């Protein structure tokens, strides 16, 4: 959902995940990335007159369990997603290609990626 900074009205309800959204971050002023209990990462781009629209090559379904954290790089070229499955995946924001997967040796959940 998007909210106005000056009003308490819902501007847009973003639908797509099949479970609670657990994390989100902006990769730029125009790109929103969300992670969910449905194990997916979804990427949304702002389109004037339409609002946030999910990219055609989204969702990303490489995690085996809930996504716990999304963190975009300061430049907005990459983002990381972390999961209860003990993986953190680095992604290219533009192509949505997977750059690298890091796995927790102990198998413990990864709850934060910074």
pLDDT one digit per residue (tens) for the chain, 114 residues: 665 567 778 888 999 999 999 999 999 989 999 999 999 999 999 999 999 999 999 999 999 999 999 999 999 999 999 999 999 999 999 999 999 999 999 989 999 988
In whole angstroms, give the CA distance from residue 30 to residue 83: 25
- The number of distinct structural domains making up the chain is 1
CB atoms < 10 A from the CB of 5, how many? 4
CB atoms < 10 A from the CB of 16, how many? 15
Domain holding 61, by residue range, is 2-103
In a domain, 48, yes or no: yes
pTM summary value: 0.90
In a domain, 114, yes or no: no
In a domain, 64, yes or no: yes
- Contact status, residue 62 vs residue 48, Cβ threshold 8 Å: no
Spell out the residues 6+ positions from residue 102 whose beta carbon is closer than 8 angstroms to its own. 87, 88, 89, 90
- Contact status, residue 23 vs residue 69, Cβ threshold 8 Å: yes
In a domain, 108, yes or no: no
In a domain, 112, yes or no: no
């Amino acid at each position: 959902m998007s909210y106005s900074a000056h009003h308490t009205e819902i501007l847009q309800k973003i639908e797509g995940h099949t479970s609670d959204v657990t994390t989100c971050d902006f990769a730029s002023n125009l790109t929103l990335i969300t992670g969910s209990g449905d194990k997916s990462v979804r990427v949304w781009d702002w389109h004037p007159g339409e609002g946030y629209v999910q990219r055609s090559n989204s969702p990303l379904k490489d995690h085996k369990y809930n996504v716990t954290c999304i963190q975009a790089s300061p430049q907005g070229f990459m983002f990381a997603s972390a999961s209860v499955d003990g993986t953190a995946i680095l992604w290219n924001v533009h192509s949505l290609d997977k750059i690298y997967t890091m796995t927790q040796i102990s198998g413990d959940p990864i709850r934060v990626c910074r």
